[in-house]
Amino acid sequence: MKEANANTAQSILVRVRNLKKYFDVSAPWITRVIEHKQKTLLKAVDGVSFDIRRGETLSLVGESGCGKSTVARMLVGLYKPTSGTVEINGKDLYKASAEEKKLAKGKIQMIFQDPYASLNPRWKVGRIVAEPIKSQKILTNSDEIEARVNSVLHLVNLSPEDKDKYPHQFSGGQRQRISIARAIAQHPEFLVCDEPTSALDVSVQAQVLNLMIKLQKEVGLTYLFISHNLSVVHHISDRVGVMYLGRIVELADKRTLFNSPHHPYTRLLLDSIPDVTGERAKHGRSPIAGEVPNPLNPPTGCLFHPRCPHCMEKCKHIAPELKTIDFHGIPVQVACHLAQEGKI
């Protein structure tokens, strides 16, 4: 048993514990003094924990404003957490020494949502892809850098001749391939993908997703995939975490979550997928209703209880913790009193 636990620990590349990010959205200090107001904090992420094993894809889904993109930015160092830890290869991204931070960050890259906005329009593709190699001083010989650029362009199905073109000369899908080439140029272990296909046409989305799956197998990449498109998430994920108002409410493997969701929000989120067969109506399933509560004034107890069709009195006053339950031998993490008690 100890050996199995040790192997499991070694297979974990990313470990996130009780991650929080609060933004101060208070009125100016003088206004608060005159009107006797307290500081106002927006709890964008409020105690998120998860592990990502090497070679797997963990997706985070949820409605706009749930905090999934904020989590992504903290994992690459763009936002500093209010509290909590992010460990990459066992090294804390924010508490390690400067050298350890540099090594950890060198293993992480990010693919952004808009492929055109994330590429410098004044640079040619060759310079764009070579930039992370030069800035991290991974290679210094110009011939070796050019060979690396040609290699990664080939991996993303672009040709070496594309090095001398500008981003505006490519289609949206090709620009996203350039972004992926830049991200893998320094041979990272971990890619954070913040809705990388949402700005693309459906047919191009499939091409980019299939490319990412192919690269994951060939290069050995690990992904954190952020999306609100459940079809995309189903295609690329190994495990899925569902976020609501800054917290994870359910985390399970893809098949279990899509076939047997436990949290009422997950069920309603899946029911929001357009139904062209009419099967949902036959089973009395309804799409998600109501609006997301104001994050500056969240409800007490379970954050989802004002919209939950199964809400009971306990839900209005006691916030459920994210706990692991056994579902036919499969571990599922869920933050719901009813699910934890086996009543749903």
Q: What is the pLDDT of residue 3?
A: 40
Nearest to 44 by CA among 70, 25, 18, 26: 70
Q: What is the pLDDT of residue 287?
A: 58
Global pTM exceeds 0.85: yes
Q: What is the pLDDT of residue 2?
A: 37
Residue 113 neighbours by CB under 8 Å, 6+ apart: 194, 195, 196, 198, 199
C-alpha span between 308 and 267 (Å, rounded): 10
Phi first, then psi: give them for residue 306, nearest 5 degrees.
Answer: -65, -20
C-alpha span between 316 and 309 (Å, rounded): 13
Show the CA angle centred on residue 33, arms to residues 32 and 35, nearest 5°: 65
Per-residue pLDDT of the chain (344 residues; tens, 9 = 90+): 334 444 444 599 999 999 999 999 998 888 888 988 888 999 999 999 999 999 999 999 998 889 999 999 999 988 999 999 999 888 888 887 777 777 777 789 999 888 888 899 999 999 999 998 988 888 889 999 999 999 999 999 999 999 999 999 999 889 999 999 999 998 899 999 999 988 788 888 888 899 999 999 988 899 999 998 888 999 999 999 999 999 999 999 999 999 999 999 999 888 877 665 555 554 555 556 677 888 889 999 999 999 998 899 999 999 999 999 999 899 999 999 999 988 77
Q: What is the pLDDT of residue 285?
A: 56
Q: What is the pLDDT of residue 38?
A: 87
- Residue 279's SS3 state is helix
Q: What is the pLDDT of residue 199?
A: 77
Element (H, E) at 327: strand 323-327
Element (H, E) at 127: helix 125-135
- Residue 311's SS3 state is coil
52-83+91-237 placed in CATH 3.40.50.720: no
CA 309 to chain centre: 28
Q: Domain ranges for the chain, please list them.
A: 52-83+91-237, 267-344
Contact 175, 118 (CB under 8 A): no
Q: What is the DSSP string of 180-220?
A: HHHHHTT--SEEEEESTTTTS-HHHHHHHHHHHHHHHHHH-
Q: What is the pLDDT of residue 7?
A: 46
Neighbouring C-alpha atoms within 13 Å toward the C-beta of 265: 27
